[in-house]
A and B are shown apart, each in its own frame.
Chain A
Amino acid sequence: MLREDAFFKTLNNEELWQRYCGFLDLSVKEFLEIQEDLLKQQINLVKDSLLGKKIMNHNVPSSVDEFRRIIPLTTYEDYEPHLSERREESLAAKPEAWCHSSGRGGHFKWLPYSKEAIEVMSQLFVSYLFLATANKKGDIRIKPKERIIINLPPRPYASGTFAYYASKVFSFHLIPPLEQSEAMTFQERIQKGFQMALKSGVDEISSISSVLVKAGERMAGEAQRIRLSRFMLHPKVLLRFARAWFWSRIHRRPILPKDLWKPKGIITGGTDTSIYKKDVTYYWGVTPWEAYGSTEIPGMAVQNWNKKWLTFVPYPAFFEFLTEEDSIKSREDKSYHPSTVLIDGLEEGGLYELIITQLYGMPLLRYRMGDILKVVALRDEGAGVNLPQFVFHTRIGATIDLASLARLTESVIWQAIINTGIKYEEWSAIKEYDGATAYLRLYLELKEEREPAEIEHLVDTQLKIIDVDYRDLDSYLGLQPVKVTVLPTGTFERYYQEKVKEGADLAHLKPPHINAPESAIQTLLRLN
Chain B
Amino acid sequence: MANLQSDFLYLITPLVSSVIGFCLFTIVLYRDWGKIENRLFSFVLLSLTLWSIFTFAMRASPNVQQALYWERMITPSGLALFILYYHFTSVYTRRINRGLLWAAYTLLVAASILSPMGLLHDYMTWGEYGYAPHLLPLMIVISFAGAPLIVLSLLNLIKARRVATKHEDRTRLSYMILAILLLCSFAIIDLFPNHTPMAIFGNILFGLITAIAIMKYHLLDISWAVRRGLAYLLVSIIVASFYIGLLLLTHLAFGEEDIPVWAYTLLVIAVAGFFLPFWHQMQRLIDKWFYRKRYDFLEELKRFSSNTHDITNFNQLTSTLVRLIDQALQLSGIYLLLPKETGELEVVTYIGKRATKLTFESNDPIIRQLRSNPGLLYCRDLNISPQLQFVTAETRGELQALGVEAIVPLKTRKDNLVGLLLLCHKLSHKPYSSEDEQLVLTVTNQVTVEIENARLYETARRSEKALRESETLFKTIVEAAPSFLMIVRVDGTIQYVSPNCLQFTGYNSEELSTSLTLWAHDEDKERLAQTLKRVFNGGLEVRHFEYRALKRDGTIWYASSSWQPLRDEAGKIISAIVQTIDITEHKEAEEKSKELTEKAQLASRLASVGEMASGIAHEINNPLTGVIGYSSLLIKKDLPEYVKDKLGIIHTCAQQVADIISRLLAFARQHKPARFCVDINEVVNTAISLRAYSTRTSSIEVITQFMVNLPHTIADASQLQQVFLNIILNAETEMKLAHGKGTLWITTEQDDNNIRVSFRDNGRGIAAENLPKLFDPFFTTREIGQGTGLGLSVCHGIIAEHNGRIYAESQSGAGATVTVELPIVTEDKPVARSTGRKSYEKGNQERILVVDDEPVILDFIRSALEAEGYVVETVNSAVAALVMIKNNNYNLLLLDIKLPEMNGIELYGNIQRENPLLLKSIIFITGDIMGPETSEFIFKVGVPCIAKPFTAEKLIEEVGFRLSPRM
Contact = CB atoms under 8 A, between A and B. Distances in A.
A9 B385 contact: no
A18 to B, nearest CB: 5
A528 B383 CA distance: 58
Interface size class on chain A is: 20 to 34
A386 to B, nearest CB: 13
A37 B365 contact: yes
Nearest to A13: B94
B384 interface: yes
A34 B386 contact: yes
Nearest to A37: B365
A26 B163 contact: no
Contacts of B163: 9-12
Interface string A17-43: 011001101100010011001100100
A37 B390 contact: yes
B941 interface: no
A12 B94 CA distance: 8
B385 A315 contact: no
Nearest to B392: A41
A14 B94 contact: yes
A18 B390 contact: no
Contact of B160 (A12, A22, A26, A37): A12
Contact of A7 (B365, B383, B393): B383
B384 A315 contact: no
Given A11-B163, A12-B160, A12-B163, A33 B386 contact: no
Contacts of B380: 10-11
A26 B386 contact: yes
B429 to A, nearest CB: 14
Contacts of A22: 384-386
Contacts of B634: none
A217 to B, nearest CB: 31
A23 B386 contact: yes
A262 to B, nearest CB: 12
B708 to A, nearest CB: 79
A463 B368 CA distance: 51
Interface in A136-162: none
A206 to B, nearest CB: 23
Contacts of B160: 12
B390 A25 contact: no
A314 B386 contact: yes
A315 B390 contact: yes
A131 to B, nearest CB: 14
Contacts of B383: 7, 11, 19
A25 B384 CA distance: 13
A446 B393 CA distance: 56
A215 B570 CA distance: 80
A25 B389 CA distance: 14
A11 B381 CA distance: 10
Contacts of B94: 12-14
Interface in A34-65: 34, 37-38, 41
Contacts of B313: none
Contacts of A380: none
Interface string B660-673: 00000000000000
B753 interface: no
Interface in B198-255: none
B389 A19 contact: yes
A12 B157 CA distance: 12
B826 interface: no
A348 interface: no
B164 interface: yes
A116 B397 CA distance: 14
Contacts of B392: 41
Contacts of B434: none
Contacts of B940: none
A406 B496 CA distance: 80
A116 B396 CA distance: 13
Contacts of A33: 365, 368, 387
A51 to B, nearest CB: 22
A18 B368 CA distance: 18
Determine chain B's interface SS by DSSP, over half rule.
Answer: loop
Contacts of A19: 383-384, 389
Task: Output the residue of B95, B380, B384 with the most chain A CB within 10 A.
Answer: B384
B162 interface: yes
B353 to A, nearest CB: 24
B387 A12 contact: no
A501 to B, nearest CB: 48
A15 interface: yes
Nearest to A41: B392
A418 B509 CA distance: 99
Nearest to B364: A37
Contacts of A37: 363, 365, 390
A73 B236 CA distance: 83
Nearest to A22: B386
Given A13-B94, A41-B392, A18 B385 contact: yes
Interface string B164-200: 1100000000000000000000000000000000000
Interface string A309-340: 00000110000000000000000000000000
A9 B386 CA distance: 19
A11 B386 contact: no
Interface string A425-465: 00000000000000000000000000000000000000000
A311 to B, nearest CB: 12
A295 to B, nearest CB: 22
Contacts of B386: 18, 22-23, 25-26, 30, 34, 314
Given A14-B94, A33-B368, A37-B365, A26 B162 contact: no
Nearest to B363: A37
Nearest to B169: A12
A38 B383 CA distance: 16
B107 to A, nearest CB: 23
A181 B163 CA distance: 37
Nearest to A15: B384
Contacts of B365: 33-34, 37
Interface string B387-405: 1011011000000000000
A497 B386 CA distance: 47
A19 B387 CA distance: 10
Contacts of A9: 162-163
B35 to A, nearest CB: 15
B393 A12 contact: no
A9 B162 CA distance: 8
B385 A38 contact: no
B390 A12 contact: no
Interface string B471-495: 0000000000000000000000000
A15 B388 CA distance: 13
B659 to A, nearest CB: 67
Nearest to B164: A12
Interface string B432-474: 0000000000000000000000000000000000000000000
A17 to B, nearest CB: 9
B946 to A, nearest CB: 68
A314 B393 CA distance: 17
Nearest to B365: A37
B392 to A, nearest CB: 6
Given A10-B163, A12-B94, A13-B94, A30 B387 contact: yes
Interface of B: 94-95, 160, 162-165, 363, 365, 368, 380, 383-387, 389-390, 392-393
28 contacts: A10-B163, A11-B380, A11-B383, A11-B384, A12-B94, A12-B160, A12-B165, A13-B94, A13-B95, A14-B94, A18-B384, A18-B385, A18-B386, A19-B389, A22-B386, A23-B386, A25-B386, A26-B386, A26-B387, A30-B386, A33-B365, A33-B368, A33-B387, A37-B365, A37-B390, A38-B390, A41-B390, A116-B393
Given A18-B384, A22-B385, A22-B386, 6 more contacts: A7-B383, A12-B160, A18-B386, A19-B384, A25-B386, A33-B387
State the 10 A-B residue pairs at the shortest beta-carbon distance, nearest first.
Answer: A22-B386, A13-B94, A23-B386, A18-B384, A12-B163, A19-B384, A15-B384, A38-B390, A37-B365, A26-B386
